[in-house]
Structure 1
Amino acid sequence: MRSAILSWPRSAKRFFVVSLDLCASLIAMWLAFSLRLDSPHWPTGLQWLVYGLGPTLALPVFIRAGLYRAIFRYTGIAALITTGRAVALYGALLFSILMVAQWEGVPRSVGVLQPIILLLMVGSSRALGWFWLAGKPRNTSHRLLIYGAGSAGAQTAAAMQNMRQYQLMGFLDDDPNKAGSTINGVRVSSPNNLPELIQQLKVTDVLLALPSTTRQRRHEIIQSLGSAAVRVRTLPGLSDLASGRVSVTDFQELDIEDLLGRESVAPLLDLLGNGLAGQVVLVTGAGGSIGSELCRQIVNEGPAKLLLVDHSEYALYAVHHELQALRDQGTHTCELVPLLASVVNPHRIADICRKHRPDSIYHAAAYKHVPMVEANAGEGVLNNVFGTLNMVRIALEYGARNFVLVSTDKAVRPTNVMGASKRVAEQVLQAITASKLPPFDKVLPEGVVTWSCPTRLSMVRFGNVLGSSGSVIPLFRRQITTGGPLTVTHPEVTRYFMTISEAAQLVLQAGAMAEGGDLFLLDMGEPIRILDVAKRMVALSGLTVRDAEHPQGDIAIEFTGLRPGEKLYEELLIGDNPLATTHPRIRRAREEFCPWSELQAALQPLQEAANANDEAALKRSLSLLVRGYKPDLVKTQC
């Protein structure tokens, strides 16, 4: 019957509710007369007029107040307040008429009693309608605890009354004063009793309703939930809630940052936007993970024009469409110029810089996936080394003030072509800055004996970026969704991790701090074992790891072996004693490099080997250029 009523057309539902209210008005009038006269009542004389007056007054007031626009099964406190106001207005009109008319046989107190009874009847009908139509949750397999008994938790609980897929079992809160209290009849418990509570209530999901708590506290809570076989989700942050982009009912998978194990590094706002306002800024690799985040943050700093350069048509379209939508919403006023180009094509890049004259260039275009570059070494070197060389040459030629290279921790004592190629790219910037002669065979004017690099060249080196293309986090999520197994290369493999936002902020701040030839790196805390990340993601999905000790677990973890060129442990620094900067978590490294005259000579055979796709010659050239690189000269296959 419930389904049949819910399937009625809207007009039929309104007619039913109007008829219900008219009947309630008549019954309320009869009860008011009966209570006033202290006996069952039958109307006579002018009393019939009062019976007709009740519905005649009530219906227009209720329509005007919007009582018939509400949906019964979504009725809440706001709808009940509106009902109260409408009945109060109706009661005032009725009482005023009875006081003025002074009809014989009509007690004036009926003008007070009848609205009170009507309010109880109309309010009860709405509440009963909500209770009956909303019904109980259809799927009680999702039994939920809300961690956080503050305003966000209470709002979520109220919204969940209409979310039939969850059954709210209770609240958790760190405040000992709230333990034992209730919110709308739901008990608040201390998280100290969490394991027993989960087992006793058969909880399957825990929602973190803590939009304003610190990242460190969230991480502590997530760790405490790691041993329980429950799925952990989170509410959006306060900024998203305030902007209206999401609501308290938008349960999300845990933020990637929640898996980081440390507080995100906050930027220095003075550094973040230093010198970008009013500039022409160029970002290569603008459609990639790092490049697109760079663009999102750059437009907020007020540049005059942002040149989006990428060789992927779809990636370029996606980032341009996103930023253009933000511009249309008034978030920024930056002119956006999407440019299809490859950094290995110097003529196209030169044409772009000749036309737009960028003040700052952020070079994020690179091939970064280790096994893919290992199997396509020639293309990797052409893009990573000579694409960078092209960008530096053109930046110098057209007078860019800043040039920032996005590098990687894999450039430190590399074991793969990708890392070695990025280290050569770093050396290109270091050598050109340190050179006392102009690069690229420029002729010195007569009388000039020294040369100062007109563009501040700098590099930013960081570890794995959570959520980027090729990151293990999206891979593990897909594998968990399909039932596993989760693939880990080695039980002891560890990596430094940072968020995409941290990486982009580091790049922008480095550009502001650069003096020329600087190599910046982030203090990223301790490295994290990939195996620990996999286990944590399984646990926080409400599942268990299947292994020899737990053969009945849900998700298996398989070790596939280190891939070609892959290291067990990554490093950020080649030398020792990095120097401090104005940012407490950013360090400046000064590392050895080949002088430009030697590097320029060594790049020629490397380029020839890359163009010929001669992998053995290419790796021999890299080994001469990069200290510590010991290539496997056996050709690798995808």
Structure 2
Amino acid sequence: MLKLLSALSRSQRAYVFLGIDLALIPAALILTYGVQVLPTSALETLRVSLPILPYLLLIAAALSKSLGLPNIQLKAYERFGIGLTALYALGLSVALAGLSWIAGLKLPIGTHVIFGLCYFIFVVAVRIVLLQVVTAMYRRAEPRSRVLIYGAGTTGTQLAQALSAHDSIDPVAFVDDNTSLQGMLLAGLPVHPPARITQLVRDRRISRVVLAMPSLSPPKQAQIARRLQKMGLEVQVLPSFAQLIGEEALIDKLTPVAPQNFLGRKSADGGLEKACQSYVGRSVLVSGAGGSIGSELCRQIMNCRPTRLVLYELSELALYTVHQELTHLTEGMGVEIVPVLGSVTDARQVRKVLADHHVQVVLHAAAYKHVPLVEANPLPGLANNVLGTRTLAREASAAGVERFILISSDKAVRPANVMGASKRMAELVVQDLATRHAETVFTMVRFGNVLGSSGSVVPLFQDQVSRGGPVTVTDVRVKRFFMTIREAVQLVLKAGAVAQGGEVFVLDMGKPVPILQLARQVIESAGYSVRDEVNPDGDIEIEIIGLRPGEKLEEELTLNGDLIGTRYQKIFCTHEKHLSEIEVASLLRGLRQALASGDEGAARALIARWVEGYGENGAGRKRL
């Protein structure tokens, strides 16, 4: 039957409705005559009326077609369709009265009124019955999604009413935290406490949950959604009325608070000043040019108008992105942009690039910097960060490069992890070259965590907030130095300009910032509150997850604590003891052997031997 109904065209369905409506006319006449006290019986009165019945049917067909009544879909047959039916029944009553008068039938006026009422009731009733029958057939033929509505407020009950007539969705029940609603029937559905969700899902075969609580904060909605998704349920969120009518369009365009707003001190942003003189008119190579630091180095160097900027990058996507951006920025500046796809560990390619483009300044920002990833993959981290630095620095010296600036990290000072140790080993390599190759100025720049860089803590916290939390902090005692990307890059370029060779430059970054405090600031800057013992109804919780392997409570900036001022107020340098040429050669030989054999234990032992302070806080030593 369902296949037959589905095969009917729209015009064919209209004729079916028209036929049903015409067939109801005799039935309405019989009922009309039967409920009245007439001189003759109902059947006799109908027999006498038979001569006018064909004319009445013709008039009914014409009137129905003109009103468009057969073309109204069953599911759309509401107030408008009922109104047309009433007008149609009134027209037939008038037609019956006129035909009866012409035929000489002496029927009371009330007969025509009752006929109109009976016919109206018949047509409406048949439409309602047909709708229920057809809906039941479709529901039986196609599986329906059984839905649980989370939230029994006004929005939830309106949703239940709207879904009750849906072809493929079957609302089953409500759940709500409001104890005053639990146990009630709303929109024909029972209201249950959230604790019964598991039982409801199992007993009522529920596959989807709709969160109908638009007034609830997004973090709390996200928390509920994640809890339900872990149960294997599909979760959908009903938007607020403001979102539906577009009032919240502006909110979609708002961006998270800029990371530099969490610096906790005045930004040391004084411009490059005279530092640009060291880069103007020169051919500059930036390794790791597609990274957070590397790309900002490129942007600021552009302001110094070098003749050529070589973008050396391992990631194709990162290289493409930064090249596209800089190409637009350099229009009309006369600066040649050269994208080079390759690794700094490839000595032959490095040598060719330096020679072909007559590189005079190298800014080495290429490195694996994410502590947990390098800790889990120590050999690739050491190969890239140590041997890559060795290759690029040695080839730069051989090519007669004027300046070589290594981007280092405060994690290189008494490191507790492989990443920090690899940066310290890179520093030792550069310090060794600085003592033996006076024609190239080798220097290092060491700074703390860069706010807003890829993988840094603020974007991580903001992402966790957007997902409803929790925001994870490793330890309540953890503190870090922070600086902005702009500050970090200015430090690099200024240090490169004043370097004499072999120094380590650091920035005065003020006092270290507690990470727990930073987490609170990120949550509150997003407009939410912290959920803790003091505020159990807050939006987002801060979860303490414990120190990760290789993580320290606090970082340091220098090994000896001695800082020497420079001509830049916020920039200091320090001269730290370094290994001899023989010791560096031994270090590199041992590292190559460990890499060749894939021996992580040997690599860690090598770090412990040559890197001062490695594992002193216990984080590194436990892994040996």
TM-score by length of 2: 0.58
Residue 285 of structure 1 is matched in structure 2 by 288
Give the share of equivalent positions with the same residue, in percent: 47
Task: Identify if the C-alpha distance between structure 1 residues 305 and 608 changes in structure 2 by more than 3 Å, giving closer, same or farther.
Answer: same
Task: Identify if the C-alpha distance between structure 1 residues 252 and 503 changes in structure 2 by more than 3 Å, giving closer, same or farther.
Answer: same
Residue 549 of structure 1 is matched in structure 2 by 534
Instruction: Give, in whole Å, the separation in 2 of the partners of 1:351 and 1:430.
Output: 24
Aligned to 1:338, the other structure's residue is in SS state strand
Instruction: Give, in whole Å, the separation in 1 of the partners of 2:596 and 2:488.
Output: 32
Residue 602 of structure 1 is matched in structure 2 by 587
After superposition, give the CA deviation of every residue in 1:31-77 in whole Å (9 maximum; x if it has no partner): xxxxxxxxxxxxxxxxxxxxxxxxxxxxxxxxxxxxxxxxxxxxxxx
Residue 337 of structure 1 is matched in structure 2 by 338
Residue 368 of structure 2 is matched in structure 1 by 367
Instruction: Give, in whole Å, the separation in 2 of the partners of 1:542 and 1:632.
Output: 39
Instruction: Give, in whole Å, the separation in 2 of the partners of 1:612 and 1:410.
Output: 27
Instruction: Give, in whole Å, the separation in 2 of the partners of 1:612 and 1:586.
Output: 42
Q: Stretches of 4+ moved more than 4 A in 1?
A: 249-252, 631-636
Aligned to 2:286, the other structure's residue is in SS state strand
After superposition, give the CA deviation of every residue in 1:557-598 in whole Å (9 maximum; x if it has no partner): 111111110101011111122111000110011111111122
Instruction: Give, in whole Å, the separation in 2 of the partners of 1:583 and 1:369.
Output: 30
Residue 414 of structure 2 is matched in structure 1 by 413
Residue 509 of structure 2 is matched in structure 1 by 524
Task: Give the letter aligned to residue 570 of structure 1.
Answer: E
Instruction: Give, in whole Å, the separation in 1 of the partners of 2:254 and 2:622.
Output: 49
Distance apart, 1:326 and its partner CA: 1.4
Query: Does the 8 Å CA contact 2:394/2:433 hold for their aligned counterparts?
Result: no
Residue 386 of structure 1 is matched in structure 2 by 387
Distance apart, 1:522 and its partner CA: 0.3
Residue 299 of structure 2 is matched in structure 1 by 296
Instruction: Give, in whole Å, the separation in 1 of the partners of 2:361 and 2:271.
Output: 19
Matched, 1:593 2:603: no
Task: Give the letter aligned to residue 511 of structure 1.
Answer: G
Instruction: Give, in whole Å, the separation in 2 of the partners of 1:381 and 1:320.
Output: 28
Distance apart, 1:271 and its partner CA: 3.4
Task: Identify if the C-alpha distance between structure 1 residues 477 and 360 changes in structure 2 by more than 3 Å, giving closer, same or farther.
Answer: same
Distance apart, 1:612 and its partner CA: 2.5
Q: Which has the larger share of helix?
A: 2
Query: Does the 8 Å CA contact 1:378/1:611 hold for their aligned counterparts?
Result: no
Aligned to 2:330, the other structure's residue is in SS state helix
Alignment: residue pair count: 373
Residue 142 of structure 2 is matched in structure 1 by none
Residue 463 of structure 1 is matched in structure 2 by 448
Matched, 1:617 2:602: yes
After superposition, give the CA deviation of every residue in 1:279-314 in whole Å (9 maximum; x if it has no partner): 100000000000000000011110000000000000
Aligned to 1:608, the other structure's residue is in SS state helix
Matched, 1:351 2:352: yes
Matched, 1:480 2:465: yes
Task: Give the letter aligned to residue 356 of structure 1.
Answer: H
Distance apart, 1:268 and its partner CA: 5.2
Q: Give the number of the structure whose alpha-carbon radius of gyration is greater.
A: 2
Matched, 1:426 2:411: no
Instruction: Give, in whole Å, the separation in 1 of the partners of 2:515 and 2:369.
Output: 19
Instruction: Give, in whole Å, the separation in 2 of the partners of 1:633 and 1:377.
Output: 14
After superposition, give the CA deviation of every residue in 1:443-467 in whole Å (9 maximum; x if it has no partner): xxxxxxxxx5210000000000000
**TM-align CA RMSD:** 2.0
Question: Which deviates the most, 536-545 or 367-376?
Answer: 536-545
Query: Does the 8 Å CA contact 2:272/2:493 hold for their aligned counterparts?
Result: no
Task: Give the letter aligned to residue 573 of structure 2.
Answer: R
Matches within 5 A, 1:46-445: 252-267=255-270, 269-328=272-331, 330=332, 332-435=333-436
Query: Does the 8 Å CA contact 2:614/2:620 hold for their aligned counterparts?
Result: no
Alignment partner of 2:548 out of 551, 563, 570: 563
Instruction: Give, in whole Å, the separation in 2 of the partners of 1:416 and 1:593.
Output: 20
Task: Give the letter aligned to residue 460 of structure 2.
Answer: L
Distance apart, 1:266 and its partner CA: 2.4
Aligned to 1:274, the other structure's residue is in SS state helix
Residue 212 of structure 1 is matched in structure 2 by none
Query: Does the 8 Å CA contact 1:465/1:499 hold for their aligned counterparts?
Result: yes
Aligned to 1:273, the other structure's residue is in SS state helix
Residue 611 of structure 2 is matched in structure 1 by 626
Query: Does the 8 Å CA contact 1:616/1:633 hold for their aligned counterparts?
Result: no
Residue 500 of structure 2 is matched in structure 1 by 515
Alignment partner of 1:491 out of 455, 463, 476: 476
Query: Does the 8 Å CA contact 1:311/1:342 hold for their aligned counterparts?
Result: yes
Task: Give the letter aligned to residue 279 of structure 1.
Answer: R
Distance apart, 1:250 and its partner CA: 7.6
Aligned to 1:389, the other structure's residue is in SS state helix
Aligned to 1:457, the other structure's residue is in SS state strand
Aligned to 1:407, the other structure's residue is in SS state strand
Distance apart, 1:479 and its partner CA: 1.1
Aligned to 1:283, the other structure's residue is in SS state strand
Aligned to 1:253, the other structure's residue is in SS state coil
Distance apart, 1:635 and its partner CA: 6.2
Aligned to 2:573, the other structure's residue is in SS state strand
Residue 537 of structure 1 is matched in structure 2 by 522
Matched, 1:580 2:565: yes
Residue 103 of structure 1 is matched in structure 2 by none
Distance apart, 1:267 and its partner CA: 3.4
Task: Give the letter aligned to residue 260 of structure 2.
Answer: E
Alignment partner of 2:485 out of 488, 493, 500: 500
Task: Give the letter aligned to residue 474 of structure 2.
Answer: T
Task: Give the letter aligned to residue 283 of structure 2.
Answer: V
Distance apart, 1:602 and its partner CA: 2.3
Query: Does the 8 Å CA contact 1:615/1:635 hold for their aligned counterparts?
Result: no
Which runs of no fewer than 5 residues in structure 2 stay unpaired? 1-216, 218-249
TM-score by length of 1: 0.57
Instruction: Give, in whole Å, the separation in 2 of the partners of 1:429 and 1:481.
Output: 42
Aligned to 2:504, the other structure's residue is in SS state strand
Aligned to 1:394, the other structure's residue is in SS state helix
Distance apart, 1:252 and its partner CA: 4.6
Residue 154 of structure 1 is matched in structure 2 by none
Task: Give the letter aligned to residue 324 of structure 1.
Answer: T
Instruction: Give, in whole Å, the separation in 2 of the partners of 1:563 and 1:252.
Output: 30
Query: Does the 8 Å CA contact 1:268/1:583 hold for their aligned counterparts?
Result: no
Distance apart, 1:634 and its partner CA: 6.4
Aligned to 2:278, the other structure's residue is in SS state coil
Task: Identify if the C-alpha distance between structure 1 residues 634 and 493 changes in structure 2 by more than 3 Å, giving closer, same or farther.
Answer: closer
Distance apart, 1:401 and its partner CA: 0.1
Instruction: Give, in whole Å, the separation in 2 of the partners of 1:278 and 1:433.
Output: 25
Instruction: Give, in whole Å, the separation in 1 of the partners of 2:254 and 2:465.
Output: 18
Task: Give the letter aligned to residue 262 of structure 1.
Answer: R
